[in-house]
Amino acid sequence: MNYSVRKKTLFDYDPSSRDSILYYAKKLEGRTFREVLNDFNKYYVRVPSPQKGKTEIKAIENLTADEMKASTAAYEFNGHSKGKLGSLLEVCYFGYELNSNQEADFAEAGVELKTTCLDRKKGRLQAGERLSITNLSFDSPVEEDFYKSHVWEKISRILLIQYERDRDIDALDQKIQFVNLVQLPEEDLEMIKSDYHQIIDKVKAGLAHEISEGDTMYLGACTKGAKSATNYRKQYYGSHVLAQKRNFCLKLPYMKAFTAQYVLTGKIPGFRIPNSGFTDFERFITNRVKEYVGMTSEEIGQRVQLDMDPRTKHFLHTSVLYMLGVKSNKVEEFEKAGVVVKTIHMDSTGYAKEKISLPATTFEDIAEKSWENSNLREYLSSTKFFFTVYRDNEEGDPVFQGSWFWNMPVSDLEGEVQRIWRKAKAVLMSPEGMELQPVVQKSGRIAVKNNLPGMAESRITHIRPHTSHSYHRLADGTVYATKGTPANAFVLPDGYRMMTKQCFWLDTSYILRELGLNH
């Protein structure tokens, strides 16, 4: 690192000492980025460099008269660059020039600096984004030894700086809440190592273009930059197909769990000697429930001592958790990995009784965002599902068929799912808007049909109501709906209307085919 801009009163720490780095960094808690920037610009300015067309940072006390005349602010904050606040701290508080080196930021101490945001939800802070670690290289040989990899070098000791993100104020006025020197818990590291090998195995197979963040549990491979030609690289392995640039990252669900369990409680994990063990988590889980295959739901309930009526709606879902030895509605590893548990219930002929719902969407998300930034793409690209399947026997009793981990293939996500999303966007953005047609059902209840992509449109996904107790607000005259009030739309005093909430659904037959359970 370049410490040429260093001034004792501002950069008063030893870059080779972890304790010194942490003691100095802790002084950031409670401060805003603007305060850090202002302090730095009191002591330093930017002056023309001997190299033509370039500038350099110098301490004001060391300037010549000519340099003083030609000087400008030492650091000008670019509010549009990604990682802007982290870069500000690197230069203005820790005093080193920005670089793209793979080694840890404080190489002498083996410490990596990471700045990330927290969001406040219902009065409680939680992680607001995945934590980017380092580049995933496609155009050179991979490092097969996890403990020799750049990933391990970056996460072995992290100086984690977390600020509260308030979208209503200027970025510089965000306040730093927590500064901690952390090493990830041993039990989490085992999963991260497993994820690392799963990712590099795909790279070695020449399948980097098929990598999805949903492939893994805690450590992900997220896309980097816009989906343009400049962000693709020829693969070193296989047939050298172009693959979109990616970064290793700690996934958002993991960061949420880590923040809740350790940061907010003040119980930061201590340091330890790395364990060279290797755990296949998915195989462990599927083997754990394998002994129940062929048993009816009632027999499983008796075996796991589940005190619940087998006929209730949540029995099948709850029984899966009990099979795993979890006597609650949450599995810690699933929470950290963002694994979504779904139960598929087939009739005796092999047809699924229900479709698979995804989180409720908003028309604004579809109409105002690009596909690359949409909530649907983010969810399906980063989520791993844990499916448990039951099939009714001739007596109508659900019989457990087994369990499978699954995440959507990139080809389906960027192909058919993207097509349906874009078709929905075209409907919402068309001059005519969305068509709403009231239809009287046999029960006498009035339902409203629309021209968003329905079940007949695709073998993978479609849009239909999520629940009869939740509604979209539609502004009259917008692109979202035609003029006139449908029979079961609710007119509000301010001229808005509401219609039943819509969401994307996955076709269960598609999932069964993916799992090799074709009926």
Using CB atoms within 10 A of its CB, is residue 7 exposed (0-12), middle (13-18) or buried (19+)?
A: middle
Q: How high is the pLDDT of residue 433? A: 73
- Which of 35-39, 45-49, 50-54, 397-401 comes out lowest in average pLDDT? 50-54
Are the beta carbons of 112 and 158 closer than 8 angstroms?
Answer: yes
Residue 437: which region, alpha, beta or left (left: phi > 0; alpha: psi -120 to 50)? beta
Q: How high is the pLDDT of residue 473? A: 64
pLDDT class of 153 with cuts at 50, 70, 90: very high
Q: How high is the pLDDT of residue 399? A: 93
Helix (H) or strand (E) holding 303: helix 297-303
Q: 96 vs 1, 2, 87, 88, 346, CA distance in Å? A: 6, 5, 10, 10, 60
Q: How high is the pLDDT of residue 360? A: 77
Residue 405 has pLDDT above 60, yes or no: yes
Q: Work out the mean pLDDT of the chain and round it to a whole number.
A: 84
pLDDT class of 260 with cuts at 50, 70, 90: very high
CA distance 350 to 508: 11
Which residue type is seen at 164?
E
Highest mean predicted confidence (pLDDT) among 36-50, 73-87, 479-493? 36-50
Q: Please, which residues bridge with residue 356 across strands?
A: 506
pLDDT class of 274 with cuts at 50, 70, 90: very low
Residue linked to tokens 């075209």: 426
CA distance 70 to 485: 66
Q: How high is the pLDDT of residue 478? A: 54
Residue 63 has pLDDT above 70, yes or no: yes
Using CB atoms within 10 A of its CB, is residue 440 exposed (0-12), middle (13-18) or buried (19+)?
A: exposed
Q: Please, which residues bridge with residue 405 across strands?
A: 386
CA distance 95 to 11: 7
Residue 196 has pLDDT above 90, yes or no: yes
CA distance 119 to 124: 8
> Residues 341-360: pLDDT tens digits?
899 999 999 888 888 988 87
Q: What is the pTM of this model?
A: 0.75
Q: Which of 247, 269, 288, 44 is nearest to 157 (CA)?
A: 269
CA distance 504 to 356: 9
CA distance 303 to 503: 37
The three state secondary structure string of 148-162 is HCHHHHHHCCEEEEE
More confident residue, 368 or 179: 179
Residue 277 has pLDDT above 50, yes or no: no
- Which of 183-187, 303-307, 432-436, 501-505 comes out lowest in average pLDDT? 432-436
Provide the token pair at 331.
């599995």
Q: 513 Cβ partners below 8 Å, 6+ apart?
A: none
Q: How high is the pLDDT of residue 496? A: 56
Are the beta carbons of 146 and 274 closer than 8 angstroms?
Answer: no
Q: What is the mean pLDDT of residues 458-466?
A: 89
More confident residue, 10 or 105: 105
- Which of 38-47, 355-364, 442-451 comes out lowest in average pLDDT? 442-451
Residue 285 has pLDDT above 90, yes or no: no
Percent of the chain surpassing pLDDT 90: 45
Q: 345 Cβ partners below 8 Å, 6+ apart?
A: 316, 352, 353, 354, 390, 391, 392, 398
More confident residue, 54 or 123: 123
Q: How many CA atoms lie within 13 A of 295 on its CB side?
A: 17
Q: How high is the pLDDT of residue 61? A: 82
CA distance 151 to 142: 11
Are the beta carbons of 159 and 179 closer than 8 angstroms?
Answer: yes
Q: What is the mean pLDDT of residues 308-313?
A: 77
pLDDT class of 467 with cuts at 50, 70, 90: low
Q: 117 Cβ partners below 8 Å, 6+ apart?
A: 127, 128, 129, 162, 163, 164, 165, 174
Q: What is the mean pLDDT of residues 58-78?
A: 82
Residue 69 has pLDDT above 50, yes or no: yes
More confident residue, 263 or 63: 263
> Residues 100-152: pLDDT tens digits?
566 678 888 889 999 999 999 988 999 999 999 999 988 889 999 999 999 99
Q: How many CB atoms lie within 10 A of CB 294?
A: 10
